[in-house]
Amino acid sequence: MKAMINIIKEQVNSFYLVQRLAKFQLRIDNQGNYLGFIWEILNPAIQMAMYWFIFGYVMRRNAEVDGIPYVYWMLAGISFWFFINKAILQGSKSIYQKYSMVAKMNFPLSSIPSYIIMGKYYGHLALLAVIMVIFWIGGYYPTWHYFELIIFVLWSYVLAFSITLLTSTLTVVVRDLQMVIQSVLQGMFFISPILWDRSKDMPELLQNILMLNPFYFLAQGYRAGLLTHEWYIINHWELALYNLALVLILLYFGAKAHYKFRARFSDFV
């Protein structure tokens, strides 16, 4: 528990530096591109258009999901994915990639994945703003449930950090873990209710198993805030408590692993 508390303190104390490094990383990632930061929105937009054409037009014929046109249902559910997928993949390899850059600086190593995640978070917020405008044009106007959306937007960052704190430490020791993480994320993407949701047609036991996926909670939470206008956290408080416990467990073991190997990172790198 002490390790987890120390990690949280490091994040708070280095918050300003994390913001600066995140903006610097954004410039590096988009260096040489004429459109620059716009690609943080344009690239996901192209992928979402492809998903809509394949799953919404070719396979579903624009069918509605729970009374909501598929295109809006899909946009709300997928909006967090581009952030969390990139954040976990790049955050997981951030320590062994960036260690030499900060090794001689007075900089907490636990903040390395933080600024990588934060750089992706800016793009997520910009993409979400565009999606919200599209929804307003389509007749889905802002409601009080946007306050719940803010909770889920913040939760996406917390979940990404709790995962990458653990994986960024372990991938320093075992590089092959990066390939495992990539494969697991691909699998979780397709079993999450992001592009489809047939869980209601499945046995109750299988439904409950699928709900253990933390991305299930995020996808449904974003939809609740943007579309269905449901107090999802209250109506599904058991699922909310489970996801809170999951994040705390990931933070605990991530902090323990980080402090265990922190002094030996230079040997592995």
Give the tens place of pLDDT for each residue, 11-47. Answer: 888 888 888 888 887 777 777 666 667 777 777 878 8
pLDDT in the model for residue 158: 94
Tens-place pLDDT, residues 164-218: 999 988 888 888 788 889 889 988 888 888 887 766 666 777 777 888 889 999 9
Tens-place pLDDT, residues 159-170: 999 999 999 888
Does residue 265 lie within any of the structural domains? Answer: no
Does residue 117 lie within any of the structural domains? Answer: yes
Q: How many domains does the chain have?
A: 1
Which domain, by its residues, includes 99?
Answer: 2-260
Does residue 268 lie within any of the structural domains? Answer: no
Does residue 162 lie within any of the structural domains? Answer: yes
Does residue 269 lie within any of the structural domains? Answer: no
**Residue 231: other Cβ atoms inside 10 A:** 14
